[in-house]
Amino acid sequence: MADLNTDIRSIKGIGEQRAKALNKLGIATLRDLISWFPRKYDDRRQARRIADLVPGESACVAAMIAAEPKVSHIRKGMDLVKVRAVDESGVLDITFFNQTWLKNQLIQGETYIFYGKAEGNLLRKTMASPIVEREGRGEFTGRIVPIYPLTAGVSQLILSRSIRQGLDACADILPDVLPDEVRQDHHLCRIGYAYENIHFPEDETALDLARRRLAFEELFFFTIGLQRLRNRRETVQVEPCGAVDMAEFYHALPFTLTDAQRRCVEEALTDMRSGQPMNRLCQGDVGSGKTMVAAACVYFCVKNGRQAALMAPTEILAQQHYNGLAPLLENLGIRCALLTGSTKAAVKRSIASQLASGEIDFAIGTHALITEGVEYADLGLVVTDEQHRFGVAQRAALAAKGQHPHTLVMSATPIPRTLALILYGDLDVSVIDQLPPGRQPIETYAVPGSYHPRVYNFIRKLVGEGRQAYIVCPMVEENDELPDERKAVTAYAQKLQAEVFPELKVAFVHGKMKAKEKDAVMAAFAAHETDILVSTTVIEVGVDVPNAAVMVIENAERFGLSQLHQLRGRVGRGKHQSYCILISDNQNEETKQRLKVMTKTADGFKIAEEDLRLRGPGDFFGERQHGLPGLKIADIGCDTQLLKEAQQAAEELLERDPDLRDHPAAAERVAELFAQASDTLN
């Protein structure tokens, strides 16, 4: 087998059933499989004595089965295997749920390794459902064990065995796309060693070496891709936009733009008149009014006779932009359309043909805007909202739909410098450092779960006064599996409706819902047909319902500060005093500090700084959404030094070989990286 693109089915030891399970994780090829990196590692090298087990801590213990395992049937669907194990230091009582087959596998008098969380007290130690394996086997104990991100139906066991087989299948053929001189100059290990040890590290040193090599590689190719985009653009000349009387636009607005908004608009218009494509980032805290800055630019562009597109990261947000902007702009003679993944095929076709003919001036949508088959007559301006959800490659993909269109990137996230370098290294920056007048600061409280009754009463009171509430639903990770947001949200909403707020209207929304349903729920909430909206973080970005005055966030410890700030930004958008209640039972010092920051400040930039200080930049975008496609291992926050090195190496290589003619493998890797990034959106 010589190709990383081969289907996993052809790997020895991976049958149809296992392949199907792996497919669910998006693992289709050998390359996907070996690039499914662990999300963390457990050091299970040392076995402890039973007497040394600490309640609450996970550990390995080698112990002998002292008596026949006993099975008891608790109730339907719940069987218990109980077994007592011993070593020279003490006794450990172990229970397994619904694993009755273990009764015959655990043999009295034999020694096994158990890995699990110890419970009990000094006198009586217990363990529930530990991992168990025969002494000396060394698959899940006795070494540093990789822990993979999972989904239902795929276990750690399946993944780690499959990856083992995958690695064996390609041990000799893994191509090293990193130029050899770069690898040696930067003291990076070989590719085979890197893959082996990122999955099955011999020790910490080997893991560090592997991680360093793979992270470097990602950053290196990412930088090369960026640099090439930049080089291409710098040589580009476009026809300068002509002057437009903006007064008509400003008069049509229901309010006066703030000075900061005006300044951003001016900066953007100056770019568009310059004869070079605009590449501008408009950064402003939640609620600072970025949408109107975008609208002004769209107006300017369309009045110059060209088309504009605005891409939002979610359907809800695209819909909302459409609802907000279309009436305003249509009144000014601009023909608008909404194009998302859930737009009906026939409508989509008609919009596509009108975009191609130029009958539509302004398209608002999701990544549907950049899918194949959507062409523009003359795309002059591309606006992307809440940029960190996309990344450079998507921006490039939309820009590629026009002849060097101007691009405006809107972001509410204050970005640390290193991150900015990667995400927006090539952008000019405008900052909206002022909120529209009349905003009342949001009162923020951090409380423990025992406050639930009080929180519910508070919501009841506010709803009684005519306000609405958001509740971000608790979501607990179970058994290493990604939490099922659908179940969590539905169950919590039902419980609230039935037991807590029978007299109010509780609605819910989550990311797994069909876009249509989502929109309907959001529209009903915006129209005040419902009082309380239970949701996941799908409402995190951008949604605007001015009558919502309270945001309750359950399990607040799960979120990064910046994410909490974004969530909080969903309230306080109208004239009513608004509140944010952060609920957490987490006693962790760091959590407490973080939540305290939220209660003390409303300044997004300050919060971002604190976030970095307290958690390290890795968590900047929350755990699963760092929004940089292609970067699986590198942590652009923590790997600052490595990033610098990789950037330098990339520059040097491009100086020697600007078109990567002597490095075809590298060229291919870059192309792949950027192509993959836009694929993930389709």
Given the rule CB under 6 A, which residues bind ligand ADP? 255-258, 261, 284, 286-292, 412, 436, 542, 544, 573
From the list Mg ion, ligand ADP, none, pick the one residue 573 interacts with, judged by a Cβ distance below 5 to 8 Å according to partner type: ligand ADP
The distance of closest approach from Cβ of residue 575 to ligand ADP in the complex, given in angstroms and rounded to an integer, is: 11
Report the partner that residue 436 touches, choosing among ligand ADP, Mg ion, none (CB closer than 5 to 8 A by kind): ligand ADP
Residue 544 binds which of Mg ion, ligand ADP, none (CB < 5-8 A, kind-dependent): ligand ADP
Q: Which residue, 283 or 591, is less far from ligand ADP as judged by CB? A: 283
DSSP strand pairing (78-87 vs 90-97) = antiparallel
Q: What is the dihedral of CA 294, 298, 300, 305, to 10 degrees?
A: 170
Task: Decide: helix, strand or coil at residue 556.
Answer: helix
* Min dist. Cβ of residue 291 to Mg ion (A): 5
CB half-sphere exposure, 411, CA atoms < 13 A: 24
Cβ-based nearer residue to Mg ion, 318 or 337: 318
Partner in contact with 288, chosen from Mg ion, ligand ADP, none, beta carbon below 5 to 8 Å by kind: ligand ADP
Name the CA dihedral angle for 217, 218, 221, 224, rounded to a multiple of 10 degrees.
Answer: -110
Say which entry of ligand ADP, Mg ion, none residue 165 contacts (CB below 5 to 8 A, set by partner kind).
none
Give every CB contact of residue 655 below 8 A, 6+ residues apart in sequence: none
From 266-274, 466-474, 541-549, 596-604, give the range in contact with Mg ion by CB under 5 A: 541-549
Beta strands (DSSP E) in 11-142 are: 40-43, 47-48, 58-65, 70-75, 78-87, 90-97, 111-120, 125-128, 131-134
Tell me whether residue 227 or residue 261 sits nearer to ligand ADP (CB atom): 261
**Cβ proximity to ligand ADP, 101 vs 255, nearer residue:** 255
Give whichever of 116 and 542 is closer to ligand ADP, judged by the CB atom. 542
Q: What angle do CA 574, 578, 583 make, to 5 degrees?
A: 140
Q: How many angstroms separate the CA atoms of 21 and 155, rounded?
A: 9
13's CB contacts (< 8 A; 6+ apart) are: 161, 162, 165
Shortest spacing between CB 310 and ligand ADP, in angstroms: 12
Please choose which of ligand ADP, Mg ion, none residue 289 contacts, taking the beta carbon within 5 to 8 angstroms, the exact cut-off set by kind.
ligand ADP
Stretch that binds Mg ion, among 59-67, 495-503, 540-548, 599-607 (CB under 5 A): 540-548
Residue 284 engages Mg ion in binding (rule: CB under 5 A): no
Q: What is the DSSP letter of 281?
A: E
Compute CA distances 509 → 75, 502, 577, whole Å.
34, 19, 25
- Which helix (H) or strand (E) segment is 392 a member of? helix 392-399
Q: Sign of torsion, CA 84 88 90 96?
A: negative
Residue with smaller CB distance to ligand ADP, 188 or 539: 539
CA 408, CA 293: separation in Å to the nearest integer? 10
Q: State in angstroms the smallest separation of the CB of 577 from ligand ADP.
A: 16
Q: How far is the CB of 278 from Mg ion (least distance, A)?
A: 19
Q: Which of 402, 405, 542, 617 binds Mg ion (CB under 5 A)?
A: 542
Q: Which does 287 bind (CB under 5 to 8 A by kind): Mg ion, ligand ADP, none?
A: ligand ADP
Cβ proximity to ligand ADP, 22 vs 257, nearer residue: 257
Cβ-based nearer residue to ligand ADP, 413 or 678: 413
Residue 279, token pair as written in the block: 């590449």
Amino acid at the residue 533: L
- Tell me, what amino acid is at 260? A
Residue 496 per-residue DSSP state = I
Residue 286 interacts with which of Mg ion, ligand ADP, none, CB < 5 to 8 Å by class: ligand ADP
629 is an interface residue for Mg ion by CB under 5 A: no
Q: Which residues bind Mg ion (CB under 5 A)?
A: 542
